[in-house]
Chains A and B, each alone.
Chain A
C-alpha cells in the first residue's frame, strides 16, 4: 500500500498455529512448554556432578 512491509511497520507476524478440536496453540508457545517438560524430565534423570564433599 504505502510500500511499507509488515515487519517494518512493527506488525506482529500471525505465526503458526496448531489446533486439535477446541484446543488452539501458537507454535512458539508449544515449543516453550515442550522445552520446559523436557528440562524437567532431564533434571530428574541426569545425575548431578559431585564436586565437593557434602554433609
Chain B
C-alpha cells in the first residue's frame, strides 16, 4: 500500500464517495443521516435520548438526559471495540477544562458500546469558521488557539496523541474551548492496526506521515498549524477537488502564507513542515512565539505584553521613501480607522487630527498631522513606471542570484551588449517611439491627478493652523518639504498662469541668448547674412522647444520631489520629439546638417539607419541625440522652484559638456548642438520661478501671516 492509499483508507468516510465539503463538514449535520434512535428512546439503561446531535466518524452522537436529570452526550460506537476499550481507561480519567470530559463507557443490552460524555451546547469551530469566510479575526483566533493548545498539551503530557484534531472536534462552551473525540481516536488507531479501518472523516488536517503509519505527537502539531491557518484565513492551506489531490498537496506542496502576518506565519510554516522532526516538538514551543503560555496548572494564559502584529496593507511598500510618514499616520489612525489604510491621504490627516483628543499622554501626534511632505510623497507612483521598476527589481534579484555561477554574469553581459549593439539601429528608434507615446499619457495622468489633489477648505485651514503653531525655525529640508506641499496644493488655474509667464520669459530668454551667442560666436569679417544667422535661430528654436517641454513638465513635477525613472522616460520622449522638430526645422531653414560633424570616431562607424553614407545625420540621429540629451540629465532640477540657487552656471556647463559627450556618439552639427544645450539649460533656469530658501526664516516667524 502506498502512503496515499493508506491515508485514504484511514480517512475513508462513511459515504462511499466523499465530496470535498463532506471532508470539511465533519458531517455533524443530519443531512442525509438517519439517527437510529428517536427522541424518548432508552437504548442504554438510565438515559433517555432527547435528540440526535450529529454523526461523526465514529458513530451517532445523541443528546440524552439521565434519570436523575444529568445532561450528557452519548456516542454510539458502532464497532465492537472490546479489545481496545481496556486501553482507554487513562483517557477516560483525563481531567482538563479544555477537554470534553468522558464519564464512562457503557454497553447496552445488545452489547454495543456507548461513550457517555459531557454535553457541550456551544457551536463547533467548524460552524464558527464557516460563518466567517475571511477568517475569524485575530482575537478570536488567539482565544480558540490558547484553549486548544492547552488541551492538546495536556493530552501530550498524558502520553496521548489526539490524531484527529479538526475544527469539527472543537467546541465553544460559553467561552471555554473544548476538545472532543480524543479518546475515540485512540480506538481508531488500534482498530487500524487490526485492519479495521474506520472513518476519520477529513484529510485536510492529516499530516503527511500519517500514511506511513509511523507517527507521533507531531501529527497533532501539524493539525494545529492547519487549524491556526484556517482560523486566520478562513480556508485550509491544502485543498483540492479530490481526496487524492488534498493528500498529494500534504505530501508535496508548500503552504501559501502570504496572507498571514507574523508571528503566525513562521509558527504555521514550521508546524506544516513535511518532516516531522522539523516541526515544533511540543505545543509549548509552538505557542510561545504567539504570546500564549501554559501555566503550571495546565491552563492557557495569553501573555499580557503581547502586542498584536501590524498587518501589512498592500500599497504601503509602494511608497518607498514615504514609509515613515505614512506609518506615522497609520499609527495615529490605529484603532480608529481600522482597515481604512487605503483611504485617501486627506482622510488620514484628519483622523490624525481627531486622534489628538484621545491621544495617550506622551504620544506625539504633532508630527503626523497634515504634513505637506506626506501629501506630496503620497501621490501614487505612475503605474507603468511602477511595473517597469518592479520588473527591473526582479531582474536585479535574478542578477544577484547569479553570483553562485561565476563567469555567467560576464558572459551574459557581453552577450547582451553584443545583441544591443547589433540591434541598435532599430532598438533606439523603437525606444524613442515608445517614449513619445508615453509623453501624452504621462501628462494627461499627471493633470488628472493634480485635479484630484485639490485641497479642501478644511485642509487649507488645517495647513494654516499647523503653520501658525510652528514654534521653531525650520531646517532647509523641512522648509522645502513644506513649500513642496504648498506647491502641490496650488490651483490648476494658478499653475497655468504661472506656466504662461514662464513660457513667455523662456521665449525672450531664448531669443536673447541666441542673440548673445551670435554676437560672441559670429565670425568677424563674415557678413551677417541669413545663412550665418540661421543656425543660431535654429539653436534658439530647438532650445525653446525643449525648454517648453521641460517647463510644462516641471510645472507638474514641482508638486513632488525626486522620482527619477519615469521622469527620464518622459524626457526621452520629449527629446525625441524635439529632435524630429529640429530635423524638420533644419530642412526648412536649409541648414546644412553635415557641417562640422568633426569628432573623434570614424564616420564609417556611424549606424547606417541614422547617418547617410557620407555621414549626414538623418532624422533618427537628431531624435536619438536630443532624446539622450534630455533623458541623460536631471532637467527637472533646473525646472524646480525649490532649487538651490536662482541660476546655476554649473548646470549650464554640465549641459554643454553632456552635449559634447553625446556628440562623440551621435554627432550633430557643432557648435550648434552645444549652443542649444547651453541655451536650454539657461532658459529653463531663467524661466522657472525661484523661491528663496531664506524665506524659511521669514516663514518660521509666527507673526508672519501665512499665505496658502
The judgment on whether A and B are partners is no
